[in-house]
A = this chain, B = another copy of it.
Amino acid sequence: MLGNFSYHNPTKLYFGEDSLSNLKTELANYGKNILFVYGGGSIKKSGLYDEIITILNECGKNVAEVAGVMPNPTSDKLNEGVAIAREHKTDFILAVGGGSVCDFSKAVSVSVNCGDDPWEKYFIRFEEPTCEIVPVGCVLTMAGTGSEMNGGSVITNHEAKLKIGHVFGDDVMPKFSILNPRYTMTLPKYQMAAGIYDILNHICEQYFSGEDDNTSDYISEGLMKSLIHSSRIAVENPQDYEARSNIMWTATWALNTLVSRGKSEDWMVHMLGQAVGAYTDATHGMTLAAVSLPYYRYIMPYGLKKFARFATEVWGVSAEGKTDEQLANEGLFAMESWMKEIGLVMNISELGATEDMIEGIADATIILNGGYNVLDRDEIVQILKASM
């Protein structure tokens, strides 16, 4: 743990099958005007919508709704949400859904009292909120993004063909999040697998960077091992509560700032995946899966020791008589087998990307520092071609 850093995560988590019973007590801490935000209507099918409405009524709240938040929430939808929130004089935003609904709600929360265009201010100019932030609470129905315990928000602008994330400070983190693993069980297997890979990749983005000896990397290895173990059980039997609960808990801790403390981070797989997402509107986790192996195989020689450690500590590859390079290769091979086993999409063509999009996707890829080697645009193009 070298360098100076701080850690502060005030989000209160309620976990388990009965966790929704805490919603009423939490809502008592906030004002009357609630903005109820949700997605495509799966919560209506599952009955959760009715449960939430009943609780809101019992609390005597005054409710406005923003429905139809899409998997990659758009800047147009954000503007619509902000307008409804203003009109309603929103005291509190209740996000019920997956990471997209949480991300969207946080973007609304920093925009309601801000005169500026939110997309321009937060996602192009990367400014921090200076206005009053409307508090947000989450009821999570999908495990993956970690949005339930962080300040992150990813918004897509289709016109500009850009999908950009902004990680806000701890004052934008949800005040509370309710995590019931049962809610994740109605999700199609494709979405579950995409969520699982999103979790693993969040950890990898923080793990594959830096050379110093760091407790964070050991915590990351523990989280990855738990995830890999439980993912195999969940893919066999999506109704296995214990496996689904471990996956849900791992998702939260994979991206709530803990495992990045005291170290550098990479995030290039997300930059590549988000650019693919801006062009294809494909499921976030699948875009990450499809670009991962070409990226990691490209970057591996620059971070050989860490990739060798990944092989032995996460995948249980035996080190006996092997060079770091052999180990590193075997680790990525083990990861590839697991990715296929849980049903991930392994190339971007399958997600709708075509050869003629490559240059545009490369342009939309934000190049970040932090990884074992900083890519140039030609290398981005190479990796995208290798991902086809």
Interface presence of A2 (CB below 8 A): yes
Contact B12 A242 (CB under 8 A): no
- Is A10's CB within 8 Å of the partner chain B? yes
Inter-chain contact A7/B1, CB cutoff 8 Å:
no
In-complex Cβ contact of A5 among B4, B16, B218, B246 (8 A): B16
Does A114 lie at the interface of the complex (its beta carbon under 8 Å from any beta carbon of B)?
Answer: no
**Does A15 lie within 8 Å of B262, measured CB to CB?**
yes
A218 touches B213 (CB 8 A): no
The distance from the CB of A244 to the nearest CB of chain B, in whole angstroms, is: 9
Inter-subunit contact A246/B15 (CB<8 Å): no
- Asked whether any CB of chain B lies closer than 8 Å to the CB of A245, the reply is yes
Known: A12-B6, A13-B6, A219-B222. A246 touches B19 (CB 8 A): no
Q: How extensive is the interface on chain A, given as a class?
A: 35 or more
Contact A223 B215 (CB under 8 A): yes
Is A188's CB within 8 Å of the partner chain B?
no
Q: Which residues of chain B are within 8 angstroms of A7 by Cβ–Cβ distance?
A: 12-13, 15
Selected from B4, B212, B214, B246, the residue in CB contact (under 8 A) with A214 is: B246
Chain B residue nearest in CB terms to A1: B245
Q: Of all chain B residues, which has the CB nearest A245?
A: B1
CB contacts (< 8 Å) of A10 on chain B: these are 8, 10
Most B CB atoms within 10 A — which of A22, A219, A229?
A: A219
Does any Cβ of B come within 8 Å of A261's Cβ? Answer: yes
- Chain B hits for A13, CB < 8 A: 6-8
Chain B CB within 8 A of A250 CB: yes
Is A3's CB within 8 Å of the partner chain B? yes
Q: Is the CB of B15 within 8 A of A5?
A: yes
* Interface 1/0 per residue, A1-45 and B, CB below 8 Å: 111111111111111111100100000000000000000000000
Q: A226 on the interface (CB 8 Å rule)?
A: yes
| Contact B6 A14, beta carbon cutoff 8 Å | yes
Chain B positions within 8 Å of A22 at CB level: 6
Interface residues of A in 184-232 (CB under 8 A from B): 212-215, 217-223, 225-226, 229-230
* A250–B214 CA distance with the chains assembled, in angstroms: 10
**Distance (Å) between the CB of A27 and the closest chain B CB?**
16
Q: Are B4 and A18 in contact (CB under 8 A)?
A: yes
Q: Which 7 residue pairs are nearest across A and B when measured between Cβ atoms? A: A4-B16, A222-B222, A218-B226, A218-B222, A1-B245, A8-B12, A215-B226
Distance of A212 Cα from B250 Cα, bound (Å): 16
Interface CB pairs A-B, < 8 A, 5? A9-B9, A218-B226, A219-B219, A219-B223, A219-B253
Residue A246 contacts which of B181, B213, B241, B250 (CB distance < 8 angstroms)? B213
Q: Assess whether B242 is in contact with A213, with CB atoms less than 8 Å apart.
A: yes
Instruction: Say yes or no for A296: interface residue by CB 8 A criterion.
Output: no
